[in-house]
Amino acid sequence: MEYREVIVLKDGRTCLLRNGTEVDAKALLDIFVLTHGQTDHLLTYADECMMTVDDEASYLRGKTESSREIEIIALVDGTVVGSAGIEALDATKEKIRHRAEFGISIDRAYWGLGIGRALTRACIACARKAGYRQLELDVVANNTAAISLYQSEGFVEWGRNPRGFLAHEGCWQELVLMRLELD
């Protein structure tokens, strides 16, 4: 899918939201490693990213050509500072073809400026356009910023998984399961 929008941030700077393409592969891998090292709220540890630049380029090419999936990047002053995307649960199975998953991460230096909300809204719009009926996500229960964002965009909690993640330190991280009906 393709997407393009310019937004004004809370500090007055402009931010370009657009679908990531092959040329963004290196920048997206870099921001993945950066953001996944800044928080313990994400599924993957920074050193678990096994993708090469070529892998990432072909992943992004696939997303751009897809009519049902997208990776949207946020650029400030030409630098990628975050991304969000939607992915089908399993497009080969008719009974769950109406469901997509949402994911988002932003460089900590750019939190609180409105990028998270703008990326979330952009992904919801793309999910609607793609024809999904439900957008879903899992969020660590103490990630209050993300939960507040999701609730304010209409996501509702439908369950919890107390042993969702087992972090490095041997601690359980409870996951809140959320969903947004799109029709």
Ligand X SMILES: CC(C)(COP(=O)(O)OP(=O)(O)OC[C@H]1O[C@@H](n2cnc3c(N)ncnc32)[C@H](O)[C@@H]1OP(=O)(O)O)[C@@H](O)C(=O)NCCC(=O)NCCS
CA distance 177 to 99: 14
Name the minimum Å distance from CB 183 to ligand X.
23
Residues 31-50 that bind ligand X (CB under 6 A): 39, 41-42
**What residues between 44 and 103 interact with ligand X by CB under 6 A?**
none
- From candidates 113, 122, 123, 182, binder to ligand X by CB under 6 A: 113
Which residues is 83 bridged to in the sheet?
73, 105
According to the binding rule CB under 6 A, does residue 143 interact with ligand X?
yes
Distances, alpha carbon 15 to alpha carbons 9, 74, 78, 121, in Å = 7, 6, 9, 14
Residue 127 CB, shortest distance to ligand X, in Å, is: 16
What is the per-residue DSSP string for 116-139? HHHHHHHHHHHHHHHT-SEEEEEE
> Is 164 near ligand X (CB under 6 A)?
no
Cβ pair 169, 177 in contact under 8 A: no
| Given 146, 173, 180, 182, the residue binding ligand X (CB under 6 A) | 146
| Residues lying near ligand X in the complex (CB under 6 A) | 39, 41-42, 104-106, 111-117, 137, 139, 143-146, 148-149, 152
